[in-house]
Every structure is written in structure tokens, then in C-alpha cells.
Amino acid sequence: MPSRRELLSTAAVLAAGNSLLREAVGANQNPADQVVDRVSTLRITGMKTYWVNPCVIIKIETNHGIVGWGDLKGVDPRVSKVLAESLFELLNGENPTRIEHLWQKIFRSHRNIRGGAFMLHTLAAIDMALWDITGKLWGVPVYRLLGGPCRDRIRVYHTPQAVKVPPPGIFEHSSNPADIERIVASIKAAREKVGPSGAVMFDAHSAVPPATLIQLAGAIKPYDVLFIEEPAVPGNIEVFKRLKAQISIPLAAGERDRTIYEMLPYLQNRCLDVLQPDCCHTGGITSMKKIATLAEAYHVPLAPHCTASNLGISASLHVVTAIPMLLIHEFYPDNRGFNPLGMGKVDWKVDAEGYVGLPQGPGLGVEIDEKTLEAEAKKPQSYKWPGRTLKDGSIADY
């Protein structure tokens, strides 16, 4: 057996040899010294933005002719269009397949707008386009790059088997019996429509006062609501905790919360049973996949919010294809208010049980008619700030 002195001498010789080898190979050829993909020559070369109400569609171009598309929605398009064009400064000349790196580069680029709605919604569209490019590069659907499919089909609503009762309108800071009776009647009608095997959801839209929602929850219990959506205005976790302590119906929210950092308090305080991230709001595919993993640790499924064009719908469906815990997915591909021009050619088919098939690739699997898009974007576009007032003239939450 060699002595300790001999072993140490051998180790020193090997270390010296490795050092000489590194110098001989050179930094340019040594994989251990490389963090950038030096083999690929694929680079981002351009961006185009098309404002078509109510969204901005972005196109990211590369030097190899592969392009990616993204859906920018949910914020003032007059601002988000310009922000996307400004952020191109951080993308120009980069390898588009370094998606996580570029996501972090944009997200952390400005300390005072990091995490804000305009930044995250714009980043979401960019992220979708990067995944679209990468899927096309490898000739596979995006969900293959996310780990492959966890399911064979995706349950969606609205269908004859799953209905969400819409927001009930504007409420004062309290309510009267007529208000509650009106909502109960709508939920009862929805249950009768779908039958005992179907799903009924109620969207409170952060518009029902907490005290009223507690009263309402008791009245609708016989109709087995799958979940109550947006039970309160985001921002104060104590309100959600109070509602969860007094309502036995599952609570769902998350469409106005962005990234893992805003979702975490709901999970830590056990005040939501379902998370509803919107792929177009939360920073895109990259961020939504992380939220799904975080929720999985708490055994909380996703029921993604999705009022998007076919681009946004497809991006969200790719994520839920590749996650284990999915409850149901929002789905409005034919709503022109969300999906101008039927944005992008996709053959969505809902089966008799209320499911759609997995998205088809490569990339996001959405074909864009750019000539039609260009023509539509040249038409005058407008934007009007939403907002609501109560009967006494004071401002209501929207």
C-alpha cells in the first residue's frame, strides 16, 4: 500500500498536470471554462410589435430565420408596446435558447420596476417567444422541453360539462338579500345545466365584500361549487386568512399575483386551495412552471386564468401539459374580445367530456398570418382605462 506521503505527492502531480492541460487546451476550447453556448451561432437580431386591441403581439427574429411569437395583454398597450421595444436592448445579439438567463436579465434589469405588472406582462410575451423559437429549433412542442407530457388531454371551461358563473357586478360595502338571491339563482341554474357530474365555479372578481361573501358561501353550499375565484382584492393576506377560516368552499386566486414571490404567502398561510396564475401576467412559461412546482410542494393544484389570444392560450396549455397537478384550465379561443382576428391558426377541439388535446408543435404550435396582423395593426387602435364607481360616487375596486 502506498504511504500517505506518496499519495500526497501523486495528488500534487495530478493537479499540476491538470493545470498544464488547461493551459494547453486554452480557455476557448475547455468546456469547463465556458458558460455560453459557443457552438450555436443562433442570435436574436430583431423585434417587431403589433398593437391589435386588446393586446400587443410581439415577434422576435433571429439570424437563422427562426422567429418566435408572444402575447402581451392585461396592461395599457400604449405603454407595454414601447416597453417591449425598449427591452429589446437587453436581448439584441443574445442566444434565444438561454431562456432562463434572459428571463433573469430582464427581470433584474431595473430595481424600481422589477416585479411590476408592466414589466412582468411584457416579460411574459418575450418569454413565450423565446420558448417558441427554441421549440422550433429542435422541432418539438414546447412541453417536450419542459419535461414531457404529464397527461394525455386537458380539462377546460367553459364547456357543457364545466361552467363559471360570471362576476356579479358592482357591490356596495355590504349587500342586501336581493343581491345574494341573484347570485344563488345563477349558481343554481349553472348546476342544473351541467348536472351532478359537471363543474360549477363562481367568480367573485374581488368585487364581493368579505362579509357578503361569507353569507353567500353558506347559501350556495348545496350546489357544490368547485371553487370561489378571487374572493378578495390581493395585497392583504389577512383578509384571505379571515375568509378561509369562515368559508368551507375551496378558494382560488392568483391571476393578479405574479411570480413565485407573490404566490408563496398564500401557500404558507394555507388560505388558497387552488392557484390561478395567468401565463400572460406572471412572466410567461418560465415563471408559470416555477409556480406550479412551488404549489405542488403544498399539494395545491393549478386552475390557470387565461383570457388571451391563441398564443397566450397555447403557452399556458404547454405548461399545464408538463405539470402533475392540474384541476382545470380557462379557455376562450373564440372570444374576439380576447383573441382579435382569431389570432393564430390553431385547431382546438373540445371532446364530449370537456377536454382538449395537447398543443401541437413545433414551438407553441401557433401559425401567425403576419400580413393580416400588419394590416390590422395599421388601423387606428384605442384604449380606455377601466374603472367603476359605487352608487354614492365613490370608487369601487375593479
What residues are annotated to the active site? 205, 305
Cell of 58: 410581439
CA–CA dist 136, 68 (Å, integer)? 8
CA–CA dist 274, 250 (Å, integer)? 7
Tell me which DSSP letter residue 333 carries: T
Give the E-state strand segments of 40-175 in sequence order. 44-52, 55-62, 68-72, 153-157, 162-165
CA–CA dist 257, 277 (Å, integer)? 7
- The candidate with the shortest Cα–Cα distance to 301, out of 195, 162, 165, 150, is 150
Specify the 3-state DSSP secondary structure of 278.
Answer: coil
Q: Which residues, 6+ apart, have CB-to-CB distance to 265 below 8 Å?
A: 237
Q: What are phi and psi for residue 154, nearest 5 degrees?
A: -125, 125
Cell numbers 389570444 correspond to what residue? 309
Cell of 182: 341573484
CA–CA dist 195, 189 (Å, integer)? 10
Cα angle 197, 199, 203 (rounded to 5 degrees) comes to: 165
